């Protein structure tokens, strides 16, 4: 083990200077931070023989590395992540050591996937890794925003505050997603009911009526012929439709994964009538909430914009943010390049400009996010209210078309029989 001399401040602000043994400088800094010290300087003095503690830490690091490649089965819900952050922050604020926090979190979480991840992170931290570096090994669970905020909290010595902010951010995101999903339940249920009714009529009722009409040699109108053709197709060639749907989904998925295809799809999502405005408002709410959380946590503006561009979930908006980042790096204000992109409304640009001038950009971004989250909620409610009559009319047209198509030849048959009598 090496010998190090360090200079640090304790929780009371008193300067502490000592010489201690540690495996390496990173491990020493981590140990001092867990004791509540603010490390100012660390310098190597000498090296001594390996000790059992070093061997234990090396074994812990080995366990962490060995588990690096295991496959993560099952997705980790954002609600689980928010609970993880909130509990973690509470224990850190209470003075519990990092390793002990992770042990408790592993025991308390109900997600089997999260248990395995926390166990591996604990092994990495015991081996000398920082928490942010350990989290970064799982980009599918902890994105760049998550890791960047944790890293900022570690550097600034305010990890508990950062975790609380991150928990609040995740809770707001979960709340927004839940509102959107809940508002779309009714249209989806109505659509499924409509498809079920139409499928039942086409595959069970129409064949019986068609068989009767053929036996009576009744001439079939064009509409009736089309409905009978659709019925035969669904009964005897349903696999063709399934195959076409599967091929379309596969081709569409592959195309969207390309940069050009993904950009065009994200552009279309912003331009679709009614739905496009809703997607745009969701993206603006996510942009302002994410950027505000990063800035209030002490992340530099250029790094924050890069992280926001990766987390916003829309390539068109992402390109506009990265372009703004390049202009800001050259000395421009934040609002000017955002205004030139024409993707950010004047209200957003003006509030960002005011925030820059008054030094309260993070607060302004929070107000913008709150405004657009309420706008999203109102837009979703309005969309749901508009979809209800549309869905009812759609169901009525589908069922009415089938009924009319089947009764037209019946009317002709009744008329013919009346003439004979």
Last residue of a domain, one of 108, 143, 171: 171
Together in a domain, 144 and 192: no
Model confidence at 266, pLDDT cuts 50, 70, 90, reads very high
More confident residue, 387 or 243: 243
Most confident among 38-47, 400-409, 410-419 (mean pLDDT): 400-409
Residue identified by tokens 């890293």 is 151
Higher pLDDT, residue 112 or 417 = 112
User: How does pLDDT run across 272-290, given as a tens digit for each residue?
Assistant: 887 888 889 988 988 998 8
| Domain count across the chain | 3
**pLDDT at 141 (0 to 100):** 86
What does each C-alpha distance from 45 to 5, 8, 28, 53, 330 come to in angstroms? 7, 16, 13, 19, 43
Q: How confident is the model at residue 74 (pLDDT cuts 50, 70, 90)?
A: low
Structure confidence at residue 316 (pLDDT): 92
What pLDDT digit, counting tens, does each position of 219-260 carry? 888 888 898 898 888 888 889 989 999 999 999 999 998 989
| Whether 101 and 39 share a structural domain | no
In this predicted structure, the answer to whether residue 417 has a pLDDT above a threshold of 70 is no
pLDDT band for 60, please (50, 70, 90 cuts): very low
Asked if 28 contacts 49 with a C-beta cutoff of 8 angstroms, the reply is: no
Please list, in sequence order, all residues whose beta carbon lies within 8 angstroms of the beta carbon of residue 32, skipping any fewer than 6 positions away: 6, 8, 39
In the chain, % helix, strand, coil (3-state, to 5) comes to: 75, 5, 20
pLDDT tens by residue, 171-228: 888 887 887 787 778 778 888 888 888 888 888 988 988 888 888 787 888 888 898 8
179 within a domain of the structure (yes/no) = no
Residues 202 and 335 grouped into a single domain:
yes
The pLDDT of residue 173 is: 81
pLDDT at 251: 95
Mean of the pLDDT values across residues 146-162?
A: 81
Of the CA atoms within 13 Å of residue 139, those in its CB half-sphere come to 3
Inform me whether the pLDDT recorded for 61 exceeds 50.
no
* Exposed e or buried b per residue across 280-303, where buried means at least 16 C-beta atoms within 10 angstroms of its C-beta: bbbbbbbbbbbbbbbbbbebebee
Domain interval for residue 254: 184-421
Q: Are 97 and 34 in contact (CB under 8 A)?
A: yes
Q: Are residues 112 and 21 in the same domain?
A: no
Task: Examine the domain organization and report whether 197 and 263 are in the same domain.
Answer: yes
Q: Residue 14: is its pLDDT beyond 70?
A: no
- Mean of pLDDT over the chain: 81
Q: Look at residues 171, 206, 223 and tell me which one is the last residue of a structural domain.
A: 171
Mean pLDDT value of segment 121-142: 86
Residue 178 within a domain? no
Domain of residue 26, CATH code: 3.10.20
Answer yes or no: do 276 and 378 share one domain.
yes
Q: Tell me the mean pLDDT in the region 21-42.
A: 71
Q: Across residues 147-176, what is the average pLDDT? A: 82
Mean pLDDT for 37-45 is 72
Does an H or E element contain 92, and which?
helix 78-93
**Could you tell me if 36 and 127 lie in one domain?**
no
Let me know the angle formed at the C-alpha of 57 by 52 and 58, rounded to the nearest 5 degrees.
95
**Measured between alpha carbons, how far is residue 331 from residues 206, 328, 357, 400 in Å?**
71, 5, 15, 64
What pLDDT was estimated at residue 52?
A: 43
Tell me: pLDDT of 91 over 60. yes
Q: Are residues 96 and 12 in the same domain?
A: no
Q: Quick one: pLDDT at residue 248?
A: 95
Judged by average pLDDT, the poorest of 55-69, 255-269, 398-412 is 55-69
Q: Is the pLDDT of residue 57 over 70?
A: no
Same domain, 228 and 296: yes
CA 354 to chain CA mean position, Å: 30
Q: Would you say residue 106 has pLDDT above 70? A: yes
Q: Are residues 189 and 329 in the same domain?
A: yes
DSSP state of 23: S
Same domain, 42 and 61: no
* Cβ–Cβ < 8 Å for 163, 88: yes
Here the CATH number for the domain that contains residue 115 is: 1.20.81.30
- Is 80 exceeded by the pLDDT of residue 59? no
pLDDT in tens, 306-344: 888 888 888 999 999 999 999 888 888 888 888 888 899
Are 225 and 107 members of one domain? no
Q: Is residue 22's pLDDT more than 80? A: no
Q: Has residue 177 been placed in a domain?
A: no
Does residue 404 belong to any structural domain of this protein? yes
Question: Cα(35)–Cα(16) distance, rounded to whole angstroms?
Answer: 12
Task: For residue 398, report the phi and psi dihedrals to the nearest 5 degrees.
Answer: -65, -50
Q: How far apart are CA 272 and CA 278, in angstroms?
A: 10
Instruction: Note the pLDDT of residue 10.
Output: 62
């Amino acid at each position: 083990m090496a010998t190090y001399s360090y200079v640090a401040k304790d929780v009371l602000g008193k300067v502490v200077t000592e010489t201690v043994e540690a495996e390496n400088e990173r491990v020493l800094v981590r140990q001092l931070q867990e004791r509540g010290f603010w490390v100012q300087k660390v310098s190597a003095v000498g090296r001594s023989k390996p000790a059992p503690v070093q061997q234990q830490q090396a074994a812990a690091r080995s366990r962490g590395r060995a588990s690096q490649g295991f496959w993560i089965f099952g997705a980790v819900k954002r609600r689980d992540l928010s609970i993880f952050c909130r509990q973690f922050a509470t224990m850190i604020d209470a003075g519990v050591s990092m390793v002990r926090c992770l042990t408790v979190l592993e025991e308390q979480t109900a997600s089997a996937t999260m248990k395995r991840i926390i166990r591996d992170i604990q092994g990495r931290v015991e081996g000398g890794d920082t928490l942010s570096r350990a989290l970064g090994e799982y980009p599918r669970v902890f994105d760049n925003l998550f890791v960047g905020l944790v890293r900022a909290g570690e550097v600034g010595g305010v990890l508990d505050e950062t975790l609380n902010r991150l928990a609040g951010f995740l809770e707001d995101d979960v709340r927004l997603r839940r509102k959107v999903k809940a508002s779309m339940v009714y249209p989806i249920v109505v659509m499924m009911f409509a498809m079920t009714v139409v499928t039942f009529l086409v595959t069970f009722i129409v064949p019986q009526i068609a068989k009767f009409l053929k036996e009576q040699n009744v001439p079939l109108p064009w509409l009736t012929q089309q409905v009978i053709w659709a019925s035969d197709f669904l009964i005897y060639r349903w696999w063709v439709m399934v195959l076409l749907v599967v091929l379309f989904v596969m081709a569409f998925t592959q195309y969207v994964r390309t940069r050009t295809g993904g950009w065009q799809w994200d552009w279309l999502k912003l331009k679709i009538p009614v739905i496009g405005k809703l997607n745009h408002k969701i993206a603006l709410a996510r942009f302002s909430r994410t950027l505000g959380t990063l800035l209030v946590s002490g992340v530099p503006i250029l790094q924050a914009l890069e992280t926001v561009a990766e987390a916003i979930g829309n390539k068109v908006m992402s390109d506009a943010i990265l372009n703004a980042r390049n202009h800001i790096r050259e000395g421009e204000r934040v609002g000017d390049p955002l205004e030139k992109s024409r993707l950010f409304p004047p209200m957003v640009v003006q509030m960002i400009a005011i925030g820059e001038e008054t030094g309260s950009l993070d607060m302004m971004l929070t107000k913008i996010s709150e405004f657009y989250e309420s706008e999203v909620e109102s837009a979703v409610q309005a969309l749901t209210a508009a979809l209800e009559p549309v869905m009812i009319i759609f169901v009525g047209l589908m069922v009415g078309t089938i009924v009319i198509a089947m009764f037209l030849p019946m009317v002709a048959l009744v008329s013919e029989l009346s003439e004979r009598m």
